[in-house]
């Protein structure tokens, strides 16, 4: 027996019994045939923890941290706090986003109305079981898939599922899907699929699979960490051997216990090579951006999404629920060549106030006041008939029969006046406006054949009425912003292309009349060509939306997609950045990177600005951190190869990192910066950082070579001289990268110089970090080498700016 035959048997059975009994419900609950669905977002707590904590980067840092603790060198293990902070920020931010999403219900309606034991009961939607009889009324949301048992003018809005905003008439035997809404009429339906088997759940099953935002910053950092990881083992071997040889050789170092000192030096070199703070600063910048956007009612599901929207060059927009609020509004009255009969305004007022009016007719209530005159007879609107009617007695202001409906149905063609009206109506409809005609017939009753109402033989047109979808008031301004920023716009909808085109024109988008998606080619390359050539698309299916996003990505575009329906979920997941509106189904919100919690479309420019700030500032501070990685690698290899003792203690590197990079980078990463995105983040950063690191490394090598030639060895004074040279030149790197200098940036740089002076002069700090000022001659050499290094950094910065000016705009 087929599924439809099963449904037919159940319908007949339930019609006789008037719903399930309490025992029937208990049996189905025991069998698991309930409407319980998973509301979890796409990432579990374990997924979040694993992505932020269980990484190779953290394993290297944790191993070094534990080793120093085992040696009793807790003062040299300060870098461990940065690693913990980095992981903690990522876990907390993503878990907060997950909890916010998990609180969203899959369906907006919290209750369902069912027929059980012969009585209508209201229950939670999770308590609906298969074979329940749903009692559906206007305004209800369908909690589970079902088949209509009986219907009285039942019309359903399935826009959340199909993208088409027009209501669909449902008769006995028709299928009704979970997530759709009852627009008008009433009826009963038997539940056929519940929970994960429902249409909405199956449609979003694929979309709930997790995928990361494509972040250029994250890709760049991952690439650097891979390079460092590959280089760590050979470099560590060189460094450890050099440290041991510096202690008199392996045998002597092990015999005397000085191998511990050598190991501390090796750890210092390893930790110095890892841009620990850069990962932390990136997480901080993302997290702060997410917090700022949360204050604007924008929920960030994944931190890197803050960056992502700033890189977008194509924005795909769903019409219903994104550009429009999903409601029909009255547009205008279009008078005809002949004078309209008296009472036409009162007739429109009656149609608008009719309790059985559909959403289109209800739009008339504000423009036309209702009349209290009671009609003789009326016919409610249905999408099958495509007209409604009302009759009033003779001698009244509205005497006769008034009809409101589709012009091509209400008016019988063949006479000059209806033909002229039909041509006018067709012209209005071609602009995307929904067009109805109000017509008048002299009779005061309807002809009915087999209980079906028949139109009067002669109805004269009175006026034409146009309706349109209500466009969000912020849509035009937001679209203008993206056009000015060079972002291509693509409007994609399941509605008629003409309707979509009308909305596009209203929000200021140039269009060639709209492309019917039923004519889209299946070949991916041909589809990509069509996507490049057209802006507005109608009659698009959910699967086509996903294919259209892929086609744009195949041409190298970074694609953002907005939507609110379950039908948008697959495309939102496929896009580089998925943006869900507040009215979206929760499953759609779960797969989106951004959720506009208050539904304000004009939030998007703020998100773009936040993303640009993140990218531009992270690029700025990345040069600081990567310069450190460059000089650390060079120093580790060179000192190891020369068998010299490493010139820094881990705690001293922690101090220099904090002064030259960590603390100033925290402020620089959060400062305003509106520079537009340009690809090539890693290339630009390395083209400055590597030469700058080389300059610092050569300066440190020079002061150590001077100390050895002067017979000063590698004691605390020499280490302090190395710290001074490194810090002074690195601070000048900070100065050139902070330009243009304003009072806040100057204040940050000034405080860092003051912090260096405190480290060298305050006894408690000086003793903790093991600083000893060199003698006058060594101090003079230190100052001269530092000055030469600063001059070299200045020349490098100017040459780097000239190099970049060939293909980019000036930085902020």
Residue 811 confidence (pLDDT): 40
Whether the upstream peptide bond of residue 117 has omega within 30° of 0, thus cis, is: no
317-331, 535-549, 724-738: which has the minimum mean pLDDT? 317-331
Q: How far apart are alpha carbons 301 and 85 in whole angstroms?
A: 20
Please give the positions annotated as active site. 318
Can you give the length of the chain in residues? 812
Residue 383 confidence (pLDDT): 64
pLDDT single digits (tens) 519-545: 999 898 999 999 999 999 988 887 788
Nearest CA to 318 out of 108, 495, 169 is that of 495
State yes or no: pLDDT of 74 exceeds 70: no
pLDDT single digits (tens) 370-416: 877 888 888 887 766 778 899 998 888 888 999 998 888 888 766 66
pLDDT band for 14, please (50, 70, 90 cuts).
Answer: very low
Q: Which helix (H) or strand (E) holds 288?
A: helix 276-295
Which of residues 773 and 797 earns the better pLDDT score?
Answer: 797
State yes or no: pLDDT of 205 exceeds 60: no
Q: How far apart are alpha carbons 571 and 545 in whole angstroms?
A: 6
Residue 614, both tokens: 């993140």
Interval 154-171 mean pLDDT: 71
Helix (H/G/I), strand (E/B), else coil: 496: coil
Helix runs in 430-496, H state only: 475-484
Task: Please tell me which of 64-73, 88-97, 609-618 the model is most confident about, judged by mean pLDDT.
Answer: 609-618
CA dihedral angle for residue 633, residue 635, residue 636, residue 639, rounded to 10 degrees: 160
495-504, 709-718, 762-771, 772-781: which has the minimum mean pLDDT? 709-718
CB neighbour list of residue 278: distance below 8 Å, 6 or more residues apart: 221, 621, 622, 625, 626, 665
State yes or no: pLDDT of 9 exceeds 70: no
Question: What structural domains and CATH numbers belong to the chain?
Answer: 3-32+106-197 (2.70.150.10), 293-325+473-607 (3.40.50.1000), 327-394+402-471 (3.40.1110.10)
Task: Please tell me which of 58-62, 546-550, 630-634, 656-660 the model is most confident about, judged by mean pLDDT.
Answer: 546-550
Which of residues 540 and 166 earns the better pLDDT score?
Answer: 540
Q: How far apart are alpha carbons 136 and 148 in whole angstroms?
A: 10
Interval 104-126 mean pLDDT: 73
Classify the phi-psi angles of 599: left when phi > 0, otherwise alpha if psi is within -120 to 50, otherwise beta: left
Interval 583-593 mean pLDDT: 68
How does strand 447-449 pair with strand 452-454?
antiparallel
Query: 0.75 cut: is pTM over it?
Result: no
C-alpha pair distances (Å), 566 with each of 39, 452, 678:
14, 37, 34
State yes or no: pLDDT of 39 exceeds 60: no
Name residue 121's beta-bridge partners: 114
Task: Please tell me which of 54-63, 145-154, 266-275 the model is most confident about, judged by mean pLDDT.
Answer: 145-154
Q: How far apart are alpha carbons 464 and 335 in whole angstroms?
A: 6
Residue 162 confidence (pLDDT): 62
Helix (H/G/I), strand (E/B), else coil: 205: helix
Which of residues 797 and 16 earns the better pLDDT score?
Answer: 797
Q: How far apart are alpha carbons 560 and 592 in whole angstroms?
A: 10
Q: How far apart are alpha carbons 586 and 105 in whole angstroms?
A: 6
State yes or no: pLDDT of 600 exceeds 60: yes
Helix runs in 464-603, H state only: 475-484, 497-506, 524-533, 542-554, 569-574, 586-590
Which of residues 555 and 279 earns the better pLDDT score?
Answer: 555
Which of residues 799 and 217 earns the better pLDDT score?
Answer: 799
State yes or no: pLDDT of 503 exceeds 90: no
CB count in 10 Å sphere of residue 675: 18
Nearest CA to 609 out of 333, 215, 369, 293 is that of 293
State yes or no: pLDDT of 67 exceeds 50: yes
CB 538 within 8 A of CB 498: yes
Residue 57 confidence (pLDDT): 63
Which of residues 245 and 227 earns the better pLDDT score?
Answer: 227
CB count in 10 Å sphere of residue 251: 9
Per cent of the chain over pLDDT 90 is 17
State yes or no: pLDDT of 139 exceeds 70: no
């Amino acid at each position: 027996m087929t599924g439809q035959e099963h449904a037919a048997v159940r319908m007949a059975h339930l019609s006789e019994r008037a719903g399930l009994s309490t025992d029937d419900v208990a049996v189905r609950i025991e069998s698991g045939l309930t409407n319980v669905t998973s509301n979890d977002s796409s990432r579990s707590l374990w997924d979040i923890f694993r992505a932020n904590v269980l990484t190779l980067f953290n394993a290297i840092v944790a191993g070094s941290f534990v080793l120093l603790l085992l040696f009793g060198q807790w003062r040299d293990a300060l870098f461990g706090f940065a690693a913990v902070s980095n992981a903690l920020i990522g876990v907390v931010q993503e878990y907060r986003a997950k909890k916010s999403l998990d609180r969203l219900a899959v369906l907006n309606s919290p209750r369902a109305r069912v027929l059980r034991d012969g009585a209508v009961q209201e229950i939670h939607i999770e308590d609906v079981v298969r074979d329940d009889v749903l009692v559906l009324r206007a305004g209800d949301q369908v909690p589970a898939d079902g088949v209509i048992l009986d219907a009285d003018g039942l019309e359903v809005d399935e826009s959340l599922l199909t993208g088409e905003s027009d209501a669909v008439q449902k008769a006995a035997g028709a299928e009704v899907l979970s997530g759709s809404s009852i627009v008008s009429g009433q009826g009963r339906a038997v539940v056929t699929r519940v929970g994960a088997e429902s249409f909405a759940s199956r449609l979003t099953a694929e979309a709930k699979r997790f995928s990361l935002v494509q972040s250029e910053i994250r890709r760049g950092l991952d690439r650097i960490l891979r390079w460092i990881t590959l280089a760590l083992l050979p470099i560590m071997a060189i460094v450890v051997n050099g440290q041991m040889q510096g202690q008199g050789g392996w045998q002597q170092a092990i015999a005397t216990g000085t191998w511990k000192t050598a190991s501390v030096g090796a750890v210092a070199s390893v930790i110095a090579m890892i841009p620990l703070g850069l990962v932390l600063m990136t997480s901080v910048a993302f997290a702060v951006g997410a917090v700022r956007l949360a204050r604007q009612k924008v929920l960030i599901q994944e931190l890197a999404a803050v960056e992502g929207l700033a890189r977008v060059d194509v924005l795909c927009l769903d019409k219903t629920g994104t550009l429009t609020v999903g409601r029909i509004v009255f547009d205008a009255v279009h008078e005809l060549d002949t004078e309209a009969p008296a009472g036409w305004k009162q007739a429109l007022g009656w149609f608008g106030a009719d309790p059985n009016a559909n959403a289109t007719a209800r739009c008339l209530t504000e423009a036309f006041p209702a009349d209290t005159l009671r009609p003789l007879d009326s016919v409610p609107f249905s999408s099958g008939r495509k007209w409604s009617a009302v009759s009033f007695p003779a001698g009244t202001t509205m005497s006769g029969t008034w009809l409101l409906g589709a012009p091509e149905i209400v008016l019988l063609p063949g006479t000059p006046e209806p033909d002229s009206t039909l041509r006018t109506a067709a012209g209005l409809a071609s602009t995307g406006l929904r067009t109805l005609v109000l017509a008048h017939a002299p009779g005061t009753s309807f002809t009915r054949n087999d209980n079906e109402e028949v139109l009067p033989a002669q109805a004269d047109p009175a006026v034409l009425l146009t309706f349109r979808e209500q466009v969000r008031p912020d849509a035009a301004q937001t679209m203008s912003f993206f056009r000015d920023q060079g972002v291509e716009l693509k409007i994609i909808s399941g509605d008629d292309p003409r309707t979509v085109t009308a909305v596009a024109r209203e929000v200021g988008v140039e269009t060639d009349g709209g492309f019917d998606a039923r004519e889209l080619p299946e070949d991916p390359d041909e589809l990509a060509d069509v996507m490049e050539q057209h802006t507005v698309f109608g009659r698009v299916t959910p699967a086509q939306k996903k294919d259209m996003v892929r086609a744009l990505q195949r041409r190298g575009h970074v694609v953002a997609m907005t939507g609110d329906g379950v039908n948008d979920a697959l495309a939102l997941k496929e896009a580089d950045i998925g943006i869900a509106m507040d009215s979206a189904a929760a499953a759609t919100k779960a797969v989106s990177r951004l959720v506009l919690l208050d539904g304000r479309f004009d939030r998007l420019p703020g998100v773009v600005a936040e993303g640009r700030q993140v990218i531009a500032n992270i690029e700025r501070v990345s040069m600081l951190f990567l310069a450190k990685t460059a000089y650390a690698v060079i120093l580790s290899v060179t000192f190891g190869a020369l068998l010299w003792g490493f010139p820094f203690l881990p705690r001293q590197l922690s101090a220099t990192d904090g002064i030259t990079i960590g603390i100033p980078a925290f402020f620089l990463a959060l400062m305003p910066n509106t520079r537009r995105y340009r690809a090539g983040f890693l290339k630009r950063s390395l083209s400055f950082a590597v030469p700058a690191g080389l300059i610092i490394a050569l300066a440190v090598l020079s002061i150590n070579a001077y100390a050895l030639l002067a017979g000063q060895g590698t004691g605390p004074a020499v280490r302090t001289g190395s710290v001074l040279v490194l810090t002074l030149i690195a601070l000048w790197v900070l100065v050139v990268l902070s330009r243009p200098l304003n009072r806040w940036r100057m204040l940050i740089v000034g405080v860092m110089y003051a912090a260096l002076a405190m480290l060298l002069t305050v006894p408690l700090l000086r003793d903790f970090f093991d600083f000893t000022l060199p003698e006058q001659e060594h101090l003079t050499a230190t100052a001269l080498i530092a000055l030469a290094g600063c001059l070299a950094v200045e020349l490098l910065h100017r040459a780097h700016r000239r190099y970049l000016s060939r293909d980019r705009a000036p930085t902020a």
